[in-house]
């Protein structure tokens, strides 16, 4: 018998596994048809054998293993049989393997056969959660259970601080599934996000059998099948609003009779909506702005916000619903984070920095694999200092900065609109395309990279978004760009998306998409003063020019992130469904008010990670994936975190620093925090030792908690049945506990103002609140503040003092102090009083305490 060789013993296993494939071909007699086949060879070669001789153009739609979950074969005959069973036609006239159906229908059939069960709808998606999505579900689930283990009637709250394209809807459903939830209520300010909530539920096999309902679906929510999970979607105003008499709308009575398992608040940066939403549309005509607010943010924004104001105190009394748990979703929850509304255990973070770090780490660890984060472009911020002659005409405000609203001020409508400073705006147009050089850069050998002049930037400006201050400015810019001297810009389609003619809400989007088309041919410039700056995806936008003042980082980055929408194409050659061609690896924000831009960036970096003890570290992490280039009028340099903070804090005065230490954001006086104080004898004794606290009364904390909870319960139990006398009594009780809560807050803030006094007197250089607590002179701290270091540390750990905001205040004080010392040539605290810092910043409280 022949000897078996070693090679034969260890022979490589032949790759003859069954593959399922689908493709379509051009030709009128094959419209709407899909070929469903199988092979044990290379799919591309097999299809070429079938079609190449006939010169037929094909597009491969599917190429995946022909196996069930248990490893047994799954054949094309079985897939076609399931499709026929589901009512789809097998078009034998053109071939036995051709089906009249969609790719989603084929995928659904395959998923059903693999799982061994029939699915409703088109639940063909089977992708698992990404690592960060699974982490959010686990952390939230664990926190809910920890609350319920202590109090089975507790109603836990959790926040997902997750940027756009994290997959909040899909992940929320996975959490609901893990909880065993059968009744889920999704409430939002932005009705336009409904499509994602419905699609994710109806397309993924994990949610087969779940019922989706909303006002738009037209279904009767009272007739749902009791054994199947229900997801109901609606807006704040529609579901939770009341009529003019303050009563629950009759059509929503059912909503308040259900014991919900999970209530999800989507787009939960409501604390900023009142100001942010108005800021977005303040450039629109008054009537249009009102319609935009109603369309984008569910209408009656002011009324809803008055109710929502209670939420910031953890008082969910305005919500006449019952639930086991709350989940809050937001990409920019700055107010919720800043106020300490959620403690660290109640927050899951997935920021732009996390996303870009995951993208880089995956690429390094798996260079040959498809990167799930690969299509998410990295942002760059380029800021430009304008020439003195342009600065002179539009500088104002607290820091005497370049005022973009003033510079781009315009009047008139339509074709008659014109800039107030038309000649200067014309110079600006020449600057951004490299055609105008101020005297100080005439002789430079290397020109700075202006947007429309640098060859490296031009490809990224094929489709740009120009964010202007008003409708008139948008029309004036369109008119100016069309003039003869601006021939350079005539190759771009100029799309004016402002005013009533452009459409309200999402109605403004289709004309833009139609004009841009595939995005590979002609270029475009979209002019807007608010429309299409939230919740809109136009993949081809690769750059945004910030040409208006924006007060809040929420507004700034909601607009900026429009250009971070991925632009890629899967299966670009029609022969590899796993291939992805990325058209936008990076995207750009161009800003012409540098100080304001860098202040927004610093606020964004710090605001998204307030628990980081060192604000400079937060900004440093952000700019490692969001590089910043700043043009100062003569040359352009990359700015690091320290430089950004220095510029952002430029002009900070002693008065402004004092205000930071008088802010209500520094302390928390909600019921949860007050209960933590009451339940800890040491904490209660420490609070009572704060100057002036005992004068409020020994029982003031219990009074606030008890009265507020009594009011909340009364509102929930009796609601619309309260008679006028009881309503007045309830109003008086509400005023009383809110007044007492305010008194508690004021005493805690007064204590907080002592911290900078101590920082000034100590010989240490404090960078963070932790430094203040640990690197201290205990006797001096007690003398200045009235509390021991131990007591202060305890109150910080209980979130009585907001460590995130205190960190920022400590950091700002240190940078101001360093700048003052550097200016005077002093390196230590010796003779510091002679600088005037002590008198202007902290002396007032110390003097008062000393009489």
Which one has a higher pLDDT value, 814 or 47? 47
**How confident is the model at residue 605, as a pLDDT?**
85
Which one has a higher pLDDT value, 158 or 215? 158
**How confident is the model at residue 718, as a pLDDT?**
61
Task: Check pLDDT > 80 for residue 108.
Answer: yes
φ and ψ at 147, to 5 degrees?
Answer: -70, -45
Distance CA 394, CA 469 (A): 14
% of the chain at pLDDT higher than 90: 27
Task: Check pLDDT > 90 for residue 713.
Answer: no
φ and ψ at 816, to 5 degrees?
Answer: -65, -40
Rg value, the chain, Cα: 31
Distance CA 281, CA 286 (A): 9
Residue with tokens 């000034």: 760
The answer to whether residues 617 and 607 touch, using CB atoms and an 8 Å cutoff, is no
Which one has a higher pLDDT value, 46 or 728? 46
If you average pLDDT over residues 590-609, what whole number do you get?
85
**How confident is the model at residue 722, as a pLDDT?**
63
Q: Is 27 helix (H, G, I), strand (E, B) or coil?
A: coil
Specify the DSSP class assigned to residue 582: E
**How confident is the model at residue 824, as a pLDDT?**
40
Q: Is 763 exposed, middle or buried (0-12, 13-18, 19+ CB in 10 A)?
A: exposed
If you average pLDDT over residues 370-384, what whole number do you get?
91
Which pLDDT band holds residue 760 (cuts at 50, 70, 90)? low
> Closest by alpha carbon to 64, among 121, 109, 14, 31?
109
Written as six digits, the tokens of 227 are: 């054994």
394-434 pLDDT, tens digit each? 775 555 567 899 999 999 999 999 999 999 999 999 999 98
Written as six digits, the tokens of 373 are: 């984060």
**How confident is the model at residue 460, as a pLDDT?**
92
Q: Where in the chain is the domain with CATH 3.40.50.300?
A: 131-350
442-497 pLDDT, tens digit each? 445 556 789 998 888 899 999 999 999 999 999 999 999 999 999 999 999 999 99
Task: Check pLDDT > 90 for residue 27.
Answer: no
If you average pLDDT over residues 142-168, what whole number do you get?
91
Lowest mean pLDDT among 65-79, 129-143, 288-302, 729-743: 288-302
Q: Is 347 helix (H, G, I), strand (E, B) or coil?
A: strand
**How confident is the model at residue 322, as a pLDDT?**
85
The answer to whether residues 664 and 722 touch, using CB atoms and an 8 Å cutoff, is no
Specify the DSSP class assigned to residue 331: S
Task: Check pLDDT > 50 for residue 833.
Answer: no
Return mean pLDDT, the chain: 79
CATH of domain 131-350: 3.40.50.300
% of the chain at pLDDT higher than 70: 74
Which pLDDT band holds residue 268 (cuts at 50, 70, 90)? confident
Which pLDDT band holds residue 277 (cuts at 50, 70, 90)? low
Alpha helices for 503-571 (secondary structure H): 509-516, 553-560
**How confident is the model at residue 231, as a pLDDT?**
93
524-582 pLDDT, tens digit each? 999 998 888 877 788 999 999 999 998 888 888 888 999 999 988 777 666 777 778 88
**How confident is the model at residue 306, as a pLDDT?**
39
**How confident is the model at residue 839, as a pLDDT?**
34
621-667 pLDDT, tens digit each? 888 889 988 887 777 888 888 788 777 766 554 445 555 666 667 78
């Amino acid at each position: 018998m022949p000897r078996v060789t070693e090679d034969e013993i260890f022979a490589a296993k032949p790759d003859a596994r069954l593959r399922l494939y689908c493709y379509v071909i051009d030709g009128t007699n094959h419209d709407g048809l899909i070929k469903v086949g199988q092979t044990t060879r290379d799919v591309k070669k097999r299809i070429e054998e079938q079609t190449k001789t006939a010169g037929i153009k094909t597009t491969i739609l599917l190429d995946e293993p022909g196996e069930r979950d248990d490893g047994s074969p799954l054949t094309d005959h079985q897939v076609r049989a399931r499709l026929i069973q589901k009512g789809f036609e097998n078009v034998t006239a053109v071939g036995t393997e051709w089906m009249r159906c969609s790719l989603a229908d084929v995928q659904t059939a395959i998923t059903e056969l693999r799982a061994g069960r029939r699915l409703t709808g088109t639940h063909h998606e089977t992708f698992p959660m990404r690592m960060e999505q699974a982490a959010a579900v686990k952390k939230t689930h664990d926190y809910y259970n920890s609350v319920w283990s202590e109090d089975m009637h507790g109603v836990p709250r959790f926040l997902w601080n997750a940027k756009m394209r994290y997959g909040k809807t899909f992940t929320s459903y996975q959490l609901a599934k893990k909880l065993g939830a059968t009744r889920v209520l999704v409430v939002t300010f932005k009705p336009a996000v409904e499509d994602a909530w419905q699609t994710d539920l109806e397309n993924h096999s994990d949610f087969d059998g779940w019922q989706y309902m909303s006002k738009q679906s037209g279904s009767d929510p009272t007739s749902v099948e009791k054994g199947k999970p229900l997801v109901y979607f609606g807006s704040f105003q529609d579901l939770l609003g009341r009529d003019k008499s303050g009563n629950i709308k009759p059509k929503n009575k059912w909503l308040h009779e259900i014991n919900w398992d999970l209530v999800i608040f989507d787009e939960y940066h409501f604390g900023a909506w009142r100001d942010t939403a108005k800021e977005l549309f303040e450039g629109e005509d008054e009537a249009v702005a009102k319609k935009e607010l109603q369309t984008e943010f569910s209408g009656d924004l002011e009324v809803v916000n008055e109710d929502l104001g209670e939420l910031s105190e953890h008082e969910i009394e305005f919500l006449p619903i019952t639930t086991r748990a709350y989940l809050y979703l937001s990409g920019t929850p700055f107010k919720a984070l800043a106020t300490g509304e959620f403690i660290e255990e109640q927050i899951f973070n997935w920021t732009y920095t996390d996303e870009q770090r995951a993208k880089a780490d995956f690429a390094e660890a798996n260079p040959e694999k498809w990167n799930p984060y690969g299509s998410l472009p990295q942002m760059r911020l380029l800021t430009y200092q304008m020439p003195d002659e342009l600065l002179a005409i539009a500088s104002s405000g607290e820091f005497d900065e370049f005022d973009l609203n003033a510079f781009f001020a315009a009047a008139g409508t339509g074709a008659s609109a014109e800039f107030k400073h038309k000649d200067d705006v014309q110079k600006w147009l020449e600057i951004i395309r490299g055609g105008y050089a101020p005297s100080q850069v005439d002789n430079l050998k290397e020109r700075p990279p202006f947007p429309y002049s640098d060859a490296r930037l031009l490809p990224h400006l094929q489709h740009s978004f120009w964010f202007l201050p008003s409708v008139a400015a948008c029309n004036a810019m369109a008119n100016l760009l069309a003039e003869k001297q601006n021939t350079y810009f005539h190759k771009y389609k100029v799309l004016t998306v402002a005013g009533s003619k452009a459409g309200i809400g999402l109605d403004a989007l289709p004309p833009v998409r139609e004009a841009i088309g595939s995005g590979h041919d002609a270029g475009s410039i979209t002019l807007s003063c608010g429309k299409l700056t939230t919740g809109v995806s136009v993949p081809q936008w690769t750059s945004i020019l910030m040409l208006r003042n924006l007060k809040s980082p929420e507004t700034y980055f909601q607009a900026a992130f429009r250009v971070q929408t991925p632009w890629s194409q899967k299966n670009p050659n029609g022969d590899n469904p796993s291939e992805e061609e990325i058209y936008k690896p990076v995207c750009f924000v161009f800003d012409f008010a540098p100080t304001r831009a860098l202040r927004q960036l610093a606020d964004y970096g710090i605001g998204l990670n307030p628990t980081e003890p060192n604000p400079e570290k937060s900004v440093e992490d952000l700019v490692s994936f969001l590089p910043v280039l700043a043009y100062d009028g003569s040359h352009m340099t990359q700015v690091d975190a320290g430089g950004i903070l220095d510029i952002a804090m430029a002009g900070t005065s002693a008065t402004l620093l004092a205000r930071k230490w008088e802010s209500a954001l520094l302390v928390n006086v909600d019921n949860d925090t007050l209960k933590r104080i009451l339940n800890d004898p040491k904490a209660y004794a420490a609070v009572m030792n704060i100057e002036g606290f005992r004068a409020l009364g020994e029982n003031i904390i219990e009074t606030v908690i008890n009265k507020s909870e009594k009011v909340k319960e009364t509102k929930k139990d009796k609601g619309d049945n309260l008679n006028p006398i009881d309503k007045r009594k309830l109003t008086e009780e509400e005023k009383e506990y809110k007044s007492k809560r305010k008194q508690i807050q004021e005493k805690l803030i007064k204590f907080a103002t002592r911290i900078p006094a101590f920082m000034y007197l100590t010989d240490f250089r404090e960078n963070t609140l932790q430094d203040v607590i640990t690197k201290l002179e205990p006797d001096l701290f007690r003398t200045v503040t009235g509390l021991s270091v131990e007591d202060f540390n305890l109150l910080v750990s209980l979130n009585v003092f907001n460590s995130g905001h205190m960190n920022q205040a400590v950091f700002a004080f240190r940078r101001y102090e360093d700048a003052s010392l550097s200016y005077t040539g002093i390196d230590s605290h010796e003779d510091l009083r002679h600088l005037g810092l002590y008198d202007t910043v902290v002396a007032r409280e110390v003097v008062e305490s000393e009489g």
